[in-house]
């Protein structure tokens, strides 16, 4: 599982930071939990978060790009599950490349919580539900706030 070796950074200080969460509705049973966990993590850090919902993962980057100029950090949440065609690879590559370009072009950190899984069971295990091995919604928010806090100190 990809969470192996995850560093323990603690809870960063998000006081005064604003974070936009962009969540895909595709696989909503997973993405809804990711969003719930991200919102809880933002509150825990003292950051203010606002959620925006898009249809699918491919719509995340354009909304994240618009928001990146208005907030201190963005968290991207989605769930792409491999099917029987190459579509999975194209979607995952496009979303990752888009989010990377946005964060580098704007200087606004983006916590990437877009799950790319082979199966629905893998997505559940990473979603933060009770008994899950990982909590990628929380992890993405903590990473985004940690980076935004570091950037404001530089």
CA distances (Å), origin 36, targets 11, 31, 119:
17, 9, 21
Under 8 Å between Cβ of 31 and 133: no
pTM: 0.94
CA angle, 113 as apex, 108 and 118 as ends, to 5°? 145
Q: Is 95 annotated as a binding residue?
A: no
**Pick the catalytic residue: 50, 70, 87, 101?**
87
Q: Is 82 annotated as a binding residue?
A: no
Q: Is 50 annotated as a binding residue?
A: no
> Is 146 noted as a catalytic residue in this protein?
no
Pairing relation of β-strands 110-117 and 18-24? unpaired
Other Cβ atoms within 10 Å of 106 Cβ, number: 15
Q: Is 117 annotated as a binding residue?
A: no
Q: Is 74 annotated as a binding residue?
A: no
pLDDT tens digit string along 68-105?
999 999 999 999 999 888 888 899 999 999 999 999 99
2 has a pLDDT exceeding 80:
no
pLDDT tens digit string along 13-23?
999 999 999 99
């Amino acid at each position: 599982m990809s969470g192996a070796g995850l560093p323990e950074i603690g809870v960063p200080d998000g006081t005064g930071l604003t974070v936009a969460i962009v969540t895909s509705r595709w696989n909503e049973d997973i993405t809804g939990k990711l969003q719930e966990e991200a919102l809880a993590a933002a509150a825990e850090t003292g950051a203010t978060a606002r959620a925006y919902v898009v249809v699918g993962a491919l719509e995340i980057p354009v909304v994240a790009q618009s928001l990146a100029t208005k907030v201190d950090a963005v968290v991207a949440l989605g769930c792409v599950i491999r099917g029987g065609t190459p579509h999975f690879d194209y979607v995952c590559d496009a979303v990752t490349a888009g989010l990377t370009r946005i964060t580098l072009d704007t200087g606004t950190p983006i916590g990437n919580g877009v799950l790319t899984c082979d199966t629905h069971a893998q997505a559940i295990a990473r979603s933060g539900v009770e008994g899950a091995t990982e909590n990628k919604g929380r992890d993405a928010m903590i990473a985004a706030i940690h980076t935004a806090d570091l950037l404001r100190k530089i």
